[in-house]
């Protein structure tokens, strides 16, 4: 597995900004402008034996959003081991539930400090082989009510801990 990051972002200015930021900090980045294009690129990379260590995908994209892309990746045995990190702009209970339910391995927030984001992604890429899911993790189901709304969440313990840690790092620390 390579140390590359596959960045999936439909907004050109955002894609260029994040690609530049990551590359100037030593990461190798491949870019796909949609979920469907990401799946096509992964097929090509798989044939070249160059799958990325990590996929960083925006959530809000037309046609195939980040949640759908994550579900497709986690349902495909060839790609399910790749760490999928969702790039979120909001942290409502509904969104956090959807992040867990789609099978994302981690989350970073668009309210980012440049160095914090780079450090987090570098760490995730370095740890990717160790953190790759082998599909044997036990899923837990949780039904809860937040602000009068029922939420059902399905997750494994490592996924939940990684996402909670990331949210804490981005929301509660300097």
Q: In the chain, what are the domain boundaries?
A: 5-172
On the question of pLDDT at 162 being above 90, the answer is no
The pLDDT, as a whole number, for residue 155 is 74
Helix (H) or strand (E) holding 154: strand 149-155
* Tokens read off for 166: 């990331």
> What tens digit of pLDDT does each residue of 105-137 get?
999 887 767 777 888 888 888 877 666 555 556
On the question of pLDDT at 73 being above 80, the answer is yes
Whether the model clears a pTM of 0.85, i.e. scores above it, the answer is no
Q: In this structure, are strands 140-146 and 149-155 parallel, antiparallel, or unpaired?
A: antiparallel
Place of tokens 């759908």: 68
The pLDDT, as a whole number, for residue 143 is 79
Q: What fold is seen in the domain 5-172? A: Rossmann fold (3.40.50)
Distance CA 77, CA 48 (A): 17
Distances (CA, A) of 24 to 72, 103, 139, 140: 30, 30, 38, 39
The pLDDT, as a whole number, for residue 133 is 55
Query: Do residues 17 and 49 make contact, with C-beta atoms less than 8 angstroms apart?
Result: no
Distances (CA, A) of 91 to 40, 146, 148, 158: 30, 13, 17, 19
Give the mean pLDDT of the chain: 85
Task: Please name which of 168, 21, 25, 32 lies closest in space to residue 109, comparing C-alpha atoms.
Answer: 168
Distances (CA, A) of 23 to 7, 15, 26, 41, 55: 11, 12, 5, 19, 15
The pLDDT, as a whole number, for residue 134 is 52
Task: Please name which of 63, 72, 70, 67 lies closest in space to residue 33, comparing C-alpha atoms.
Answer: 63
Q: Which residue has the higher pLDDT, 76 or 1?
A: 76
On the question of pLDDT at 1 being above 60, the answer is no
Alpha helices in 29-149 (DSSP H): 35-47, 66-75, 93-101, 114-131
The pLDDT, as a whole number, for residue 2 is 65
> What tens digit of pLDDT does each residue of 31-58 get?
999 999 999 999 999 999 999 999 999 9
Distance CA 116, CA 108 (A): 10
**Out of 43-52, 58-67, 84-93, least confident range:** 84-93
The pLDDT, as a whole number, for residue 109 is 84
| Mean pLDDT across 148-160 | 77
Query: How many CB atoms within 10 Å of residue 14?
Result: 14
């Amino acid at each position: 597995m390579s140390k590359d990051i596959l960045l999936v972002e439909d907004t050109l200015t955002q894609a260029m900004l994040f690609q530049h930021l990551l590359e100037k900090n030593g990461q190798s980045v491949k870019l796909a402008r949609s979920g469907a294009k990401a799946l096509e690129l992964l097929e090509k990379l798989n044939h070249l034996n160059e799958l990325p260590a990590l996929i960083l995908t925006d959530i809000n994209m037309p046609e195939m959003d980040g949640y759908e892309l994550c579900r497709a990746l986690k349902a495909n045995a060839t790609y399910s081991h790749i760490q999928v990190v969702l790039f979120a702009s909001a942290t409502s209970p509904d969104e956090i539930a959807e992040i867990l339910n789609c099978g994302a391995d981690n989350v970073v927030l668009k309210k980012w400090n440049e160095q914090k984001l780079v450090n987090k992604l570098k760490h995730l890429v370095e740890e990717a082989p160790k953190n790759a899911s082998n599909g044997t993790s036990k899923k837990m189901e949780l039904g809860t009510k937040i602000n009068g709304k029922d939420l059902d969440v399905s997750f494994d313990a490592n996924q939940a801990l990684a996402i909670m840690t990331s949210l804490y790092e981005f929301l509660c620390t300097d």
